[in-house]
Amino acid sequence: MEVEKTNLEGCFLIHDTFFGDHRGYFFESFNKNTFLEKTGMNINFVQDNQSSSQKGVLRGLHFQHGEFSQAKLVRVLEGRVLDVALDLRKASVTYGQHLAVELSGTSHTQLFVPRGFAHGFLVLSDKAVFFYKCDNFYNKTSEGGIIFNDPDLAIDWKLEQKELLLSEKDTMLPTLKEIANTLNF
C-alpha cells in the first residue's frame, strides 16, 4: 500500500500493491496496521456500503454531522467515477476546497475522506460499482448535503448538466454559504 497526500488536509489517495498473473490478481484492499503506520490515523471501520449506478448518476455531495460524522475509504470495483471530497471543517486550512479524482475498477486506487468532509461521485462509464467503508454508522437525522453545482465551489463534473441523473433530494440541497453557520465539524 502506497499513500499519497492530496491538496486537502487529511485526505489521502491509497494505491494498492497489486499482484497479477495468468490466473487473475490479488491485493490487500485494507490493513489497519499499515494504514495507521502510513497515515498516522487509527481508523476503526464499522460499516461497508456498495452501490451500482449507470452513466451520469451523480450521488452527492453528502455528509453526516455531529457525533455521527463519518470518515470513508472509497473505491470503485467496476467502471469509472469522478470522486469529489469537499472540506467542511471550518478550522482547516483547506476549508471550502475540494478534490476531484477519477477512480476506476482497474486503477486499484482508493480515496480516504476524513470526518468533516462532504463526498460525492459521478459515474463516467456505462456502469459503475462503488464501494466504501465508514468509521461510523449511518444516522438519517444527521445527514446533510451541499448542492453539486454550487457556483462558489466551481466543481468540474466532466459531464454537461443535462447528462446528469440526480435524486430529487440531491437537486434541492443548499449551497455551502447557505449552511456554513450550521456546520459543526
So which residues are the catalytic ones?
Answer: 62, 132
CB of 29 closer than 8 Å to CB of 21: no
Q: Which of 60, 64, 34, 61 is nearest to 47 (CA)?
A: 64
What φ, ψ does residue 17 adopt, rounded to 5°? -80, 120
DSSP H/E element including 145: strand 143-145
Instruction: State whether residue 154 is helix, strand or coil.
Output: coil
Distance CA 11, CA 43 (A): 13
Residues 6+ apart with CB under 8 A from 141: none
Q: Are 57 and 82 in contact (CB under 8 A)?
A: no
DSSP 8-state secondary structure symbol assigned to residue 181: G
